[in-house]
Structure 1
């Protein structure tokens, strides 16, 4: 299976072998480097031809990769080949008497060959662990368009700055059902509107996670399935709206695979950047706002801080819905005017964004349904939720915060509508975002569902809930949800 990943900087298309996450050129460099080492161990009659062919293929591959732009994962491959090349070439030389040059004893050559093989092999392993994300093809009947908007609330001061004239601004990215694009239409880059923005966001996310920035160098190269500013689909009428808030330090694009899947099934997804909370927010004027959130390490203090940050996010979500209503009514210009069904709205979020979704729903009855993607319910639990709610949680282990399930359960039991808590076996906290597509498949980090199954399960469960809650599709919702994990249903007036 081949997957095209257009490079946003130069327009090139790097074809990647999905299972190896290597381009054919990179694979050629790896195999030729290994062949250089293997030539030392071949019979004398085969050694010269193999060495010349492998050396030529490697040098040409390295030159082309250097010109086109080399990924950091290929550096150990170059290092291993560079160590092996002098010895491979030396074996082709002849002494003055015309006889072949002497080779090192096998017991001396074996450790060096093993070290070079290990160095070269670390390249493909690194490419597999930190690949260019390959986004799953949306399964719905609609193509997907996307656009970015920036809104400032004139009535709300910015609480993260001391400037009394500063007003709260949010950046919102919409994914929506679109008309099919022409063949060859350039797909939207991941993490930003431009390669520069994607690189800024990628570096900020790495810093926020405490990772060396180069580990995520490939992420901004990814292309999604959406097309920027594609025409809205001509069919489908008015589309239900789903607002999304990312996790602490997260960005609006962190659930792109999920958003594209929902949009392909006829939903409009509006995901928010929260300035001074998200790792990096690039504004329309080019300014970049980085996060100011820091934990203290004190559980009680962090809980109070989390409640305050959640309240800001909840206000952002409510303001964004107001702006979407204005857009639908034509009070703000845009191609989605008249196509947003703001009478059918779900509010969702991951981690702290899930807590914000719960708070926004308590405060604003315009929200008709709530989805909490593994978010601890910060802040007050009153008033009670009146909307149907779905809480997706990671697998519960001894490492899970012991306060999490009791508080989440209490929040759901206080609700006046049916709620569902679905615990997905094999899921970790980062399973509920795009992270499994580009981070190492470590169970403690992204769970054990895998790069293909993680986004599929999360999207399928949320789609089933949205179809029942916003489209009022009949069917056995508990039965469908229970196919994805351990389900607990809380109905009004019952004990659970």
Structure 2
């Protein structure tokens, strides 16, 4: 809760409590509490009241006339009347219940607070839009329409001046953030107002911050979000990686991402949708995965162009496109696996709880890390056998880490702003969820892209149940 919202809660609580104070204390407490509530309500009305504050204002508003009435009557020279305690108690309890509902709702649906990145670099971010002139847009009937993707980059940056405005979450502007937030809510059947705190959030990066000095080149990590997801859905993870010297390029896939705001102001909404029938959904999912894989390969080409100066940008000469990982969540994880099969420029793969849609051949040849939730009765029974098949066919060593207490949304920013319901976001908690995902993937990237020595399997196994797979693993202790 913001300081202003906290003042409103205190004022409302004090108005309820004033009825039960000694006679000498009631007038000053009532006047101070009423003034605090009225002032905070007026200011909140001007800047925008979050829905979580409505029961607080309602409870305080109901208590206010009962608290002020004895004072006004005494001031007018009339005898003060107070209800007997047994009559006042139900009303006080009802008002207190209303007021308490506000902080509880704010706790359940907060304005997300992003963790401070732990690396030595500050983090900058910028958004680019690229069109693939060689590839028609498969989601439209216009033969002249070409596939366009929006990419957000997080990169090591110079430290910004104190007080520099941090980047908006979910979009370049608050309006874009609200458009995306509303689309995400609709995608899961929720009214947009429930997550109204999300587009208010600020991240830990700064838009267009100068790139970190030193002239070094940074390994690159591409990211594809889940079905209906958006490029910013793993911002906490991207900022952590960037603070450790990686450039993260996350994609919006138009017509698949919930909402994509283009440079010309148009908003492209998702046209892909799951029916809920696993067999019926498999065929279109294979096609959508193929489009995403093509998007990832195209973006890697554009990043290579950017590094060589064929595309202008502050990261020219700073991208090490000879050390690249492709990653994704859910369907984005499936797209990462497919892209790596098709393009050996990708040196490593990370699949965040993604079912491997599409063909399992040709085999992977890159080190692969798959982070998964634990198997439950609701898990697709084909998931783990299919994933295991893909990992076992890999000619490089692959790792599957089952994270205890994780759910499907543990691997995105969801735990930072959704209710802490274990079936929804897992049971790791708001601070631990992003920490586990970042620590495990960072250890894998440092080992595979930077070739840092160490016991990768030992590091990963500290976070859950680890399986090691791949042809290169055959006969080794602990391998699947």
Counterpart of 2:278 (choices 299, 302, 306) is 299
Q: Is the 8 A contact 2:309 2:316 kept in 1?
A: yes
Corresponding residue SS for 2:127: strand
Counterpart of 2:6 (choices 16, 23, 27) is 27
Q: Does 1:101 align with 2:59?
A: no
Shift in Å, 1:161 = 0.5
| Counterparts of 1:184 and 1:44, CA distance in 2 | 47
Once the two structures are superposed, residues 445-487 of structure 1 have per-residue CA deviations (whole angstroms, 9 ceiling, x without a partner) of 1111111111111000000000000001110000000111111
Q: Find the counterpart in structure 1 of residue 136 from structure 2.
A: 157
Once the two structures are superposed, residues 229-287 of structure 1 have per-residue CA deviations (whole angstroms, 9 ceiling, x without a partner) of 11111126111100000000000000001000000101010000000000000000000
Corresponding residue SS for 1:92: helix
Q: Does 1:267 align with 2:253?
A: no
Mean Cα deviation higher: 472-481 or 70-79:
70-79
| Counterparts of 1:284 and 1:331, CA distance in 2 | 21
Counterpart of 2:266 (choices 279, 287, 312) is 287
Q: Find the counterpart in structure 2 of residue 434 from structure 1.
A: 413
Shift in Å, 1:63 = 1.7
| TM-score scaled by length of structure 1 | 0.93
| Counterparts of 2:426 and 2:470, CA distance in 1 | 30
Once the two structures are superposed, residues 106-128 of structure 1 have per-residue CA deviations (whole angstroms, 9 ceiling, x without a partner) of 22222211111111111111111
Q: Does 1:357 align with 2:357?
A: no
Q: Find the counterpart in structure 1 of residue 311 from structure 2.
A: 332
Q: Find the counterpart in structure 2 of residue 133 from structure 1.
A: 112
| Counterparts of 2:5 and 2:209, CA distance in 1 | 34
| TM-score scaled by length of structure 2 | 0.96
Once the two structures are superposed, residues 350-400 of structure 1 have per-residue CA deviations (whole angstroms, 9 ceiling, x without a partner) of 011000000100111110000000001111111111100000001222222
Mean Cα deviation higher: 482-491 or 253-262:
482-491
| Counterparts of 1:264 and 1:93, CA distance in 2 | 60
Q: How many residues align?
A: 475
Counterpart of 2:400 (choices 407, 421, 428) is 421
Q: Find the counterpart in structure 2 of residue 86 from structure 1.
A: 65
Q: Is the 8 A contact 1:236 1:266 kept in 2?
A: no
Q: Find the counterpart in structure 1 of residue 209 from structure 2.
A: 230
Counterpart of 2:45 (choices 66, 74, 91) is 66
Counterpart of 1:258 (choices 237, 244, 267) is 237
Once the two structures are superposed, residues 57-109 of structure 1 have per-residue CA deviations (whole angstroms, 9 ceiling, x without a partner) of 21122222222332221111111111111111123244799564332232222
Q: Which runs of structure 2 are paired with 1:156-235 in the superposition (5 Å)?
A: 156-235=135-214
Q: Does 1:46 align with 2:29?
A: no
Q: Does 1:393 align with 2:372?
A: yes
Counterpart of 1:472 (choices 438, 451, 461) is 451
| Counterparts of 1:387 and 1:352, CA distance in 2 | 19
| Counterparts of 1:242 and 1:124, CA distance in 2 | 39
Corresponding residue SS for 2:71: coil
Once the two structures are superposed, residues 165-203 of structure 1 have per-residue CA deviations (whole angstroms, 9 ceiling, x without a partner) of 111000001111111112222111111111111111111
In structure 2, the gaps of 5 or more residues are: none
Q: Is the 8 A contact 1:92 1:100 kept in 2?
A: no
Q: Is the 8 A contact 2:391 2:470 kept in 1?
A: no
| Counterparts of 1:181 and 1:348, CA distance in 2 | 29
Q: Is the 8 A contact 1:256 1:434 kept in 2?
A: yes
| Counterparts of 1:157 and 1:308, CA distance in 2 | 15
Q: Structure 1 residues 97, 242: CA separation in 2 closer, same or farther (over 3 Å shift)?
A: closer
| Counterparts of 1:100 and 1:40, CA distance in 2 | 16
In structure 1, the gaps of 5 or more residues are: 1-21
Counterpart of 1:445 (choices 424, 437, 445) is 424
The ranges of structure 1 where at least 4 consecutive aligned residues each deviate by more than 4 angstroms after the TM superposition are 95-99
Q: Does 1:146 align with 2:146?
A: no
Q: Is the 8 A contact 2:393 2:470 kept in 1?
A: no
Q: Structure 1 residues 335, 148: CA separation in 2 closer, same or farther (over 3 Å shift)?
A: same
Q: Does 1:346 align with 2:320?
A: no
Q: Find the counterpart in structure 2 of residue 374 from structure 1.
A: 353
Q: Is the 8 A contact 1:93 1:100 kept in 2?
A: no
Corresponding residue SS for 2:431: helix
Q: Is the 8 A contact 1:348 1:373 kept in 2?
A: yes
Q: Find the counterpart in structure 1 of residue 93 from structure 2.
A: 114
Q: Is the 8 A contact 2:225 2:332 kept in 1?
A: yes
